[in-house]
Structure 1
């Protein structure tokens, strides 16, 4: 048990970096690790080598957890066997010297046999477990305490295995959906996917989810101006197991489709943009997700048009939901809702780095082989567009049109096969712990001695003292009162 406690404390200590440092795969802040690396370029590589950005999947964390499971199994299983044996066993014989026990009474009665029978009946009526011999009544109460202790130990072990099973067999992923876009639950459709080592990715729940509409409300006055008040995503889904349906996902109100849960974790804007190349052909069209960078939902995004002619195009944009002129003369967003939406652009030409086979973020540009588009006077080209406006690029490179505005929502998708087991184990753990702490356990004996005298006493098996009134009642029932010769009552 000491080893298990030491490992439990060690597990808690190893989990501390996971609470202090940003972690990969966290749906609420997927860019946290990258931002930390930019702010601490010298420290971040060393932390990454030690797996401190993915603590809960690190080998050393898994080693401590496995050792804890092994230790708890070796500790709990024999303990449970002993507790079960204690629960089922009959009350033990009275100690040789009852006079040393609590509330001892000693005296004579008219009929020792009748006294033992009366004592047994009285104790059974008080819900004691009673065992009767020719010269003794043995009784015990509060055995539920040991059953609770047994349940606590077993449920603790099951809880550990349930959590481990969920991590091994489950998965967690993220996806950003623009209004009107449908997500198919296959591994290639996820923006990020973190499966457990034994997760069955080919056997993912067959379903489709469409974001039909997204609504957000913000505070419009007072000290909390601009803070979110509510946001919700109206979705429709199609599943083989649960059929077709619709649902409104809100924070802390996920959609659950046969164990696969969709949590709403964030949202933003997706400006609808059309990029035409120098030949007038459409090089890119449709809504583009811009990621929020501040509470006013100032958002940045990237549009890549590798097939544009006469040369490939790339646009780096900044979206302002409510554009106003800032104190330094630059436009800023004054409110997170779309009151005066504006998109600002700079443009680049050259090799976008999409043909070398390396992975590349859709939200960032590789500037290695790119050249910024400039005006005739040599200054960088910039443009600012409101919905419905079009701007042409210099040197016949093409044009950009701001067609309209859509919203997008971030969803965390998770499946945890061990959550039901863990929940049940946690409930049983609390019930068992409550029973083991709240239920008092005690034993009572009534014995006939060789000289014909009778004596009774009790013993507490918990911190609660034996109720002396209970012994007084038993003594009266068998005809033994405090006035009898030799009777005495000991304080607990």
Structure 2
């Protein structure tokens, strides 16, 4: 009977945990340079909607206009977050992934680069003639130790990291390397990019901004608070109480135009009330007004017609209504609403169906002939105001927000508002008597400035990071990593020797990156190491 000996059991390695393996591989994929570049490209694409489409935190009115002009497309874009692109889930996801990827890329490379910088240049290879650049052995003056010291001094003067070693056979080798600034610049660039992302995120959390149409005049002054902004946006860590207290009054506005109507110069003069002290300041488009805790930027300019209405009971009201420009020549549209008009003095009751609103088109310079539908120049050379009167319920008390720049079209469609007579063209100082005896007068205009007030605490940090990023990119592009090696052996003393004490030196070198000029630099460096040769810093390239 044959028996088979039991074979010893073979130890099989434990199977890795599938969940841990998935996490590890996912992390490696996320922190690869290819993924970081892909996410950076996706971030650029994700920024396109924020540049092309109107954004709610910049101009809510522009978003409303887009809904009006594109009633079918706008709701779909709104569900995708296109009108709040930079606060959308998909943009935030790309942002966070890119942030994580950059950290995962940079930290290991910083450790490796730090070790490489501190590491002694490696030993010279046995066959220097097999390197990319080499120099045959030639006689040099001095013993191997003296020649090695001289070569090392020459290299160190040219900012090479060097190491000299004595070999067992009495020969000496000198190793040198240069060009670590390439990786330093690369890491600096990626670190700066990470800092830019962090600065933008910090500014988004702790920054705020607001836009305001500031009409000239003391009665239209502005104080820095959220209710007085036309449009505003506060960071998640900012509330109304954090806004710096100051007030602005537009006292003058200078607008210069070319004959073609193109703007040449805008300058606003304001009275600033800050901490109880009043002072006059000027600022222009490219020169913002710097205040304590905020900056005021000049965005645009326009006109606010002053319209006076006297109702049928003889009560007079006056409105200063900013009109929004519709073209570069400042043809402007707007409204003046009088919801408290026609109050019966006998009863003191307001008649909601007797409210008055005027929709108008203001033209700074009317054409000499033809219909007045568009201005021919943005300066007020021949101003005119075309008004359309509406009587009825303006819809101001319905609890639904209405635009201050247009008549409620829904009220017109429902028959709650009806047009009174035909449109009328008025020049400054002219009046129009309506069918009920009320009169409207075009008093004149005031200029207004569109200003943006904002505070971004990460702005300086982002600027410094961007400058460092450019420096790092320059270093990474111009830095060339390379190594050179020298071997010095004792020469046989004989009649062929030109000195009483000499050695043989051979050299070799190789670039660690693509460097077309390395051969020339190597030749000049070898020539500089010979006795009587020019200084290495005068011959070898100083580029890191």
Short-chain TM bin = 0.7 to 0.9
Which among 198, 201, 206 is matched to residue 164 of structure 1? 201
The answer (yes or no) to whether the contact 1:219–1:229 under 8 Å persists in 2 is yes
The answer (yes or no) to whether the contact 1:348–1:371 under 8 Å persists in 2 is yes
The answer (yes or no) to whether the contact 2:144–2:489 under 8 Å persists in 1 is no
1:53 alignment partner, SS class:
helix
For 2:262 and 2:145, locate their aligned partners in 1 and report how far apart those are by CA, in whole Å.
81
For 1:114 and 1:475, locate their aligned partners in 2 and report how far apart those are by CA, in whole Å.
12
The answer (yes or no) to whether the contact 1:390–1:399 under 8 Å persists in 2 is yes
The answer (yes or no) to whether the contact 1:325–1:331 under 8 Å persists in 2 is no
Mapping 1:12-161, distance limit 5 Å: 12-26=44-58, 31-101=61-131, 102-106=133-137, 111-134=143-166, 135-161=172-198
Which among 317, 321, 342 is matched to residue 309 of structure 1? 342
Which among 294, 308, 315 is matched to residue 274 of structure 1? 308
Change (3 A) 1:475 1:105: farther
Unaligned runs of 5+ in 1: 375-379, 480-492
Change (3 A) 1:226 1:129: same
For 2:488 and 2:278, locate their aligned partners in 1 and report how far apart those are by CA, in whole Å.
76
Q: Structure 1 segments of 4 or more deviating over 4 A?
A: 107-110, 329-332, 448-454
Change (3 A) 1:107 1:469: closer
Q: Which residue of 1 aligns with 2:325?
A: 292
- CA-CA distance at 1:478 after TM superposition: 10
Q: Which residue of 2 aligns with 1:228?
A: 263
Give CA-to-partner distance per residue, 1:119-152, whole Å, 9 cap, x none: 1222222222223333432222333333323322
Q: Which residue of 2 aligns with 1:377?
A: none
Which among 348, 354, 367 is matched to residue 396 of structure 2? 354
Moved more, 157-166 or 381-390: 381-390
Unaligned runs of 5+ in 2: 1-32, 167-171, 344-353, 492-502, 534-544
1:394 alignment partner, SS class:
coil
- CA-CA distance at 1:26 after TM superposition: 4.2
For 2:192 and 2:456, locate their aligned partners in 1 and report how far apart those are by CA, in whole Å.
18
Q: Larger Cα Rg: Structure 1 or Structure 2?
A: 2
- CA-CA distance at 1:330 after TM superposition: 5.2
The answer (yes or no) to whether the contact 2:335–2:406 under 8 Å persists in 1 is yes
1:315 alignment partner, SS class:
strand
Give CA-to-partner distance per residue, 1:436-465, whole Å, 9 cap, x none: 221333222233569996543222223222
The answer (yes or no) to whether the contact 2:139–2:505 under 8 Å persists in 1 is yes
2:77 alignment partner, SS class:
helix
- CA-CA distance at 1:413 after TM superposition: 1.9
- Count the aligned residue pairs: 464
The answer (yes or no) to whether the contact 2:144–2:490 under 8 Å persists in 1 is no
Q: Which residue of 2 aligns with 1:365?
A: 407
For 2:356 and 2:297, locate their aligned partners in 1 and report how far apart those are by CA, in whole Å.
36
Which among 362, 365, 384 is matched to residue 425 of structure 2? 384
For 2:300 and 2:98, locate their aligned partners in 1 and report how far apart those are by CA, in whole Å.
36
Structure 1 vs Structure 2 CA RMSD: 2.7
The answer (yes or no) to whether the contact 2:295–2:454 under 8 Å persists in 1 is yes
For 2:389 and 2:173, locate their aligned partners in 1 and report how far apart those are by CA, in whole Å.
98
TM-score (norm 2): 0.78
Q: Which residue of 2 aligns with 1:189?
A: 228
The answer (yes or no) to whether the contact 1:136–1:447 under 8 Å persists in 2 is yes
Which among 438, 451, 456 is matched to residue 416 of structure 1? 456
For 1:213 and 1:75, locate their aligned partners in 2 and report how far apart those are by CA, in whole Å.
54
- CA-CA distance at 1:90 after TM superposition: 2.7
The answer (yes or no) to whether the contact 1:84–1:147 under 8 Å persists in 2 is no
Change (3 A) 1:292 1:158: same
Give CA-to-partner distance per residue, 1:79-105, whole Å, 9 cap, x none: 122223322333222234333222244
Q: Which residue of 2 aligns with 1:395?
A: 436
- CA-CA distance at 1:474 after TM superposition: 4.7
Q: Which residue of 1 aligns with 2:348?
A: none
For 1:297 and 1:113, locate their aligned partners in 2 and report how far apart those are by CA, in whole Å.
84
TM-score (norm 1): 0.86
